[in-house]
A and B are shown apart, each in its own frame.
Chain A
Amino acid sequence: MATLQINNLHAKVAEEGGETILRGVDLEVDSGEIHALMGPNGSGKSTTAKVIAGHPAYEVTDGEITLLLDDEDVADIDEEVPAEKREWDLLALEPNERAALGIFLGFQYPAEIEGVTMTNFLRQALNAKSEEREELFENEEEAEADADEESGYDTSPMEGPADDGDIGVAEFQQLLKGKMELLDMDEKFAQRYLNAGFSGGEKKQNEVLQAAILEPAIAVLDEIDSGLDIDRLQDVSEGINALRDEQGTGVLQITHYQRILDYVEPDHVHVMIDGEIAQSGGADLAKKLEDEGYDWVREQVYETA
């Protein structure tokens, strides 16, 4: 079981005189759990998500983000993973390295990439992830040996890269087909270009599909429920529940509304106000927010301040 620990996280917009957005966020998400992160617009929810994934637009000025891994999380690694490779300082890693360790960010507005089919993209992403994992977990001697090996070019471009460890096209198509059936997605998706011309709902569904393929330890889903009609909301919610139930993914679900929480029941609910977690509680906290808004939380914050 992986644990994402966020301690006293401060972050600002990465430019001269950039606005400070996060002012000491503390949060802990275990795999297999669903956390809802709520709060008014501009409170720092999306920024938290992006900083976890390593978005270059933000600069972390204080605090830590740590990912702790246990045996289960490194079961795919051939060799014994020593203690020092079970605790990762995410802030020191590139976004793709964080992804390789099991962090997934579901975007509110995912990029549209023309000319790249879903199948191609997902297969490449999966292969890139496994390759990066190997690198992150291999010991130094191996790393040196690999570097030597990579200096030559021993294959022709006609044959394609020497990708012995990679998942093949046929095998991948099976995997993709299964996951798409699970999410009740049309087969045609596989040959469409990544998010290009997708409706809002299709994009959200696609984000969940990607999490289902990449099997992250922790998925941060940024307003995955926005702009969805009720049918699509149910599909997406089922997908999220499946992430937890079938892959043991921990979900940090960012949302404005109680609505999605009717389908995806959170274990924990957090309220973010002005760049801090102001209140945490169980599923009933979300219901109270739905009824009473955020003002009472804000009042409490200012009273204690």
Chain B
Amino acid sequence: MSSDQDHLQETDTEARFEFKKEERSSFQAEKGLTEETIRVISEDKGEPEWMLKRRLRALEQFQKMPMPTDWPGQPDLSEVDVDQIIPYIRPDVETRESVDDWTDLPDDIKDTFDKLGIPEAEKNALSGVGAQYESEVVYQNMQEQWEEKGVIFCNMDEAVQEHEDLVREHFMTKCVPPSDNKFAALHGAIWSGGSFVYVPEDTVVEMPVQAYFRMNSEGMGQFEHTLIIAEEGSEVHYIEGCSAPKYSAFNLHSGGVEVFVGEDAHVQYSTVQNWSKNTYNLNTKRALVEADGRMEWISGSMGSKATMLYPASILKGRGASDNHITIAFAGEGQNIDTGAKVYHNAPNTKSTIESKSISKDGGRTNYRGLVHIADGASDSSTAVECDALMFDNESTSDTMPYMEINESKVDVAHEATVGKIGDEDIFYLQSRGLDDDDAKQMIVSGFIEPLTEELPIEYAVELNRLVELEMEGSLG
């Protein structure tokens, strides 16, 4: 072994196991994702035995399942080397070490903060430790008010300890089982951090629950798990992420989101994500919706090298409904493959999917959607609308909607439009005094307006600003 490697190994060990160096030193010797690795993670977190078992079962699944390679037009994942999965975790831990030093952030991330006009104090906050502090403050204030009502909002790792029964019942059992797909299995094995939200019966949480910068300060936060349980008649709006990019020296993000929408409950899950351009963003998000429950998915996907993300709703009970709004933006070298899945498994269920994508400079966006209407789901309806906006002839946009309709008494609508940003539209706005950039920006803001109008104003403003930066080609 060369001295360089020696040095590397030593650094790794320090970074990963700052508290228990000696005990863990054998861990790094293992290459790839092994049972031992999982045991170490679980022990490190002091998890109960059942969680370790779930992790190990997920690992088994992961090892058995093949990489998805043959979906038509899917992003190329050949660079995602699962045997190297542990070295992928390491840099993220280094992040934790370096977050309080602004200068250690990669240039593209720093530029983003600068261009967003985020002041220094806020930058420090966003880069990690401070953010945790910042969000703690907000979180504590809200917590009192919520606690009285029995609402729980905490870190997922904490939830395993303190709300064990709830977590044990719901965590990757009925909603997103590890067997769902290879990356759900990976997530099940090495998940860490994330949010746990529990809203008791007939409780309405009026203000959005926000998980903001949490991930940066969570060691292996790139595998965060979000579990939302909304009991009968309750209501909650959960917002995850923010428009500031999540710092990632790491290049695989594989999160999991599970939402339980009780009878007559209403959950809105909103996310605006902006990943660094070297990230593979492969997530599984799903909601189980009981009778007359309503699930809303609002998501803006920005950044990443490749994204594969299809939030899903399973409409289990009569009268359940789902509403999807997704927006994707792909620039040079990016392939954003996103869409929605809805399973209508009961009568009188309703879904709408509104998908918008923007591509420029050779970027590629796909809409990949699945609407399944089961035999017996009579009087159900679905409406799918996909709009793609392209800036130039090098960019690509594909629409791949699948409709599986096994019931005749249903109402199904699908509409897709693909357009290039029209020269006439730009000229029209220019003739009114807007310059070329502002004209394009205005057209795109209008295009994404259905998303921004669903978000709290500060998210909407930041999303618009991010899109503007993407369009100037000044991010990443």
Least Cβ–Cβ distance between A135 and chain B, in angstroms: 10
- Asked if B402 is an interface residue, CB under 8 A from chain A, the answer is no
- Asked if B465 is an interface residue, CB under 8 A from chain A, the answer is yes
Which residues in A have their C-beta under 8 angstroms from that of B439?
96
Which segment of B53-61, B405-413, B421-429 sits at the interface?
A: B421-429
Contact among B117, B423, B438 with A128 in the assembled complex (CB-CB below 8 Å): B438
Contact among B117, B424, B436, B447 with A115 in the assembled complex (CB-CB below 8 Å): B447
- Asked if B416 is an interface residue, CB under 8 A from chain A, the answer is no
- Asked if B103 is an interface residue, CB under 8 A from chain A, the answer is no
Most A C-beta atoms less than 10 A away, residue of B431, B447, B465: B431
Which residues in B have their C-beta under 8 angstroms from that of A155?
117
Which residues in B have their C-beta under 8 angstroms from that of A193?
446
Q: B431 touching A128 by the CB < 8 A rule?
A: no
Least Cβ–Cβ distance between B314 and chain A, in angstroms: 31
- Asked if A113 is an interface residue, CB under 8 A from chain B, the answer is yes
Least Cβ–Cβ distance between B425 and chain A, in angstroms: 4
Least Cβ–Cβ distance between A1 and chain B, in angstroms: 21
- Asked if A132 is an interface residue, CB under 8 A from chain B, the answer is yes
- Asked if B18 is an interface residue, CB under 8 A from chain A, the answer is no
Which residues in A have their C-beta under 8 angstroms from that of B430?
54, 94-96, 99
- Asked if B442 is an interface residue, CB under 8 A from chain A, the answer is yes
Q: A115 touching B434 by the CB < 8 A rule?
A: no
- Asked if A157 is an interface residue, CB under 8 A from chain B, the answer is yes
Contact among B116, B425, B436, B450 with A113 in the assembled complex (CB-CB below 8 Å): B425
Q: B429 touching A157 by the CB < 8 A rule?
A: no
Q: B425 touching A111 by the CB < 8 A rule?
A: yes
Q: Write the B436-457 contact mask toward A (1 if CB under 8 angstroms, else 0).
A: 1011001101111110000000
Contact among A95, A114, A153 with B114 in the assembled complex (CB-CB below 8 Å): A153
Least Cβ–Cβ distance between B413 and chain A, in angstroms: 19
Alpha-carbon gap, A115 to B354, bound state (A): 14
Which residues in A have their C-beta under 8 angstroms from that of B65?
none
Interface size classification for chain B: 35 or more
Output the nearest chain B residue to A128 by Cβ-Cβ distance: B433
Output the nearest chain A residue to B113 by Cβ-Cβ distance: A153
- Asked if B458 is an interface residue, CB under 8 A from chain A, the answer is yes
Alpha-carbon gap, A294 to B101, bound state (A): 77
Alpha-carbon gap, A155 to B446, bound state (A): 24
Which residues in A have their C-beta under 8 angstroms from that of B461?
157-158, 160
Which residues in A have their C-beta under 8 angstroms from that of B445?
115-116
Contact among A56, A125, A156, A160 with B433 in the assembled complex (CB-CB below 8 Å): A125
Tell me the residues in window 9-48 of chain A with beta carbons closer than 8 Å to chain B beta carbons.
none
Q: A104 touching B431 by the CB < 8 A rule?
A: yes
Q: A115 touching B446 by the CB < 8 A rule?
A: yes
- Asked if B119 is an interface residue, CB under 8 A from chain A, the answer is yes
Least Cβ–Cβ distance between B475 and chain A, in angstroms: 14
Output the nearest chain A residue to B122 by Cβ-Cβ distance: A156
Output the nearest chain A residue to B462 by Cβ-Cβ distance: A157
Least Cβ–Cβ distance between A200 and chain B, in angstroms: 16
Which residues in A have their C-beta under 8 angstroms from that of B443?
113, 116
Which residues in B have their C-beta under 8 angstroms from that of A105?
431
Contact among B119, B423, B433, B458 with A214 in the assembled complex (CB-CB below 8 Å): B433
Q: B446 touching A124 by the CB < 8 A rule?
A: no
- Asked if B118 is an interface residue, CB under 8 A from chain A, the answer is yes
- Asked if B432 is an interface residue, CB under 8 A from chain A, the answer is yes
Q: B432 touching A115 by the CB < 8 A rule?
A: no
- Asked if A121 is an interface residue, CB under 8 A from chain B, the answer is yes
Which residues in B have their C-beta under 8 angstroms from that of A176?
none
Contact among B424, B433, B450 with A96 in the assembled complex (CB-CB below 8 Å): B433
A-side interface residues, number (CB < 8 Å): 38
Which residues in B have their C-beta under 8 angstroms from that of A128?
432-435, 438
Whether A156 contacts B118 in the complex (CB less than 8 A), given A115-B445, A193-B446, comes out as yes
Does more than half of chain B's interface fall in helix, strand or loop, or is it mixed? helix
Least Cβ–Cβ distance between A149 and chain B, in angstroms: 14
Which residues in A have their C-beta under 8 angstroms from that of B163?
none
Q: Write the A104-118 contact mask toward B (1 if CB under 8 angstroms, else 0).
A: 110100110111100
- Asked if A129 is an interface residue, CB under 8 A from chain B, the answer is yes
- Asked if A57 is an interface residue, CB under 8 A from chain B, the answer is yes
Alpha-carbon gap, A95 to B355, bound state (A): 33
- Asked if B64 is an interface residue, CB under 8 A from chain A, the answer is no
Contact among A114, A132, A156, A214 with B435 in the assembled complex (CB-CB below 8 Å): A132
- Asked if A273 is an interface residue, CB under 8 A from chain B, the answer is no
Q: A111 touching B429 by the CB < 8 A rule?
A: yes
- Asked if A100 is an interface residue, CB under 8 A from chain B, the answer is yes
- Asked if A53 is an interface residue, CB under 8 A from chain B, the answer is yes
Least Cβ–Cβ distance between A60 and chain B, in angstroms: 16
- Asked if A258 is an interface residue, CB under 8 A from chain B, the answer is no
- Asked if A55 is an interface residue, CB under 8 A from chain B, the answer is yes
Tell me the residues in window 38-53 of chain B with beta carbons closer than 8 Å to chain A beta carbons.
none
Q: A95 touching B427 by the CB < 8 A rule?
A: yes
Q: A116 touching B442 by the CB < 8 A rule?
A: yes
- Asked if B420 is an interface residue, CB under 8 A from chain A, the answer is no
Whether A96 contacts B428 in the complex (CB less than 8 A), given A113-B446, A116-B442, A193-B446, comes out as no
- Asked if A79 is an interface residue, CB under 8 A from chain B, the answer is no
Q: A124 touching B118 by the CB < 8 A rule?
A: no
Alpha-carbon gap, A160 to B460, bound state (A): 12
Output the nearest chain A residue to B464 by Cβ-Cβ distance: A157
- Asked if B414 is an interface residue, CB under 8 A from chain A, the answer is no
- Asked if A76 is an interface residue, CB under 8 A from chain B, the answer is no
- Asked if B31 is an interface residue, CB under 8 A from chain A, the answer is no
- Asked if B174 is an interface residue, CB under 8 A from chain A, the answer is no
- Asked if B20 is an interface residue, CB under 8 A from chain A, the answer is no
Least Cβ–Cβ distance between B290 and chain A, in angstroms: 34
Q: B432 touching A157 by the CB < 8 A rule?
A: no
Whether A125 contacts B434 in the complex (CB less than 8 A), given A156-B117, A156-B122, comes out as yes
User: A residues near B, CB below 8 A?
Assistant: 53-57, 94-96, 98-100, 104-105, 107, 110-111, 113-116, 121, 124-126, 128-129, 132, 153-158, 160, 193-194, 210, 214
Please list 8 pairs of residues, one from A and one from B, whose beta carbons are closer than 8 Å in the complex, sorted by A's number.
A54-B431, A95-B430, A113-B425, A113-B428, A113-B429, A115-B449, A128-B433, A132-B435
Known contacts A96-B430, A214-B432, then 7 further A-B pairs from the complex at CB < 8 Å, ordered by chain A residue = A94-B430, A94-B435, A113-B443, A115-B447, A116-B442, A121-B429, A157-B465
User: B residues near A, CB below 8 A?
Assistant: 114-119, 122, 422-425, 427-436, 438-439, 442-443, 445-450, 458, 461-462, 465
By Cβ-Cβ distance, the 9 closest A-B pairs, closest first, are: A115-B446, A115-B449, A129-B433, A111-B428, A95-B430, A116-B446, A153-B117, A99-B433, A125-B432
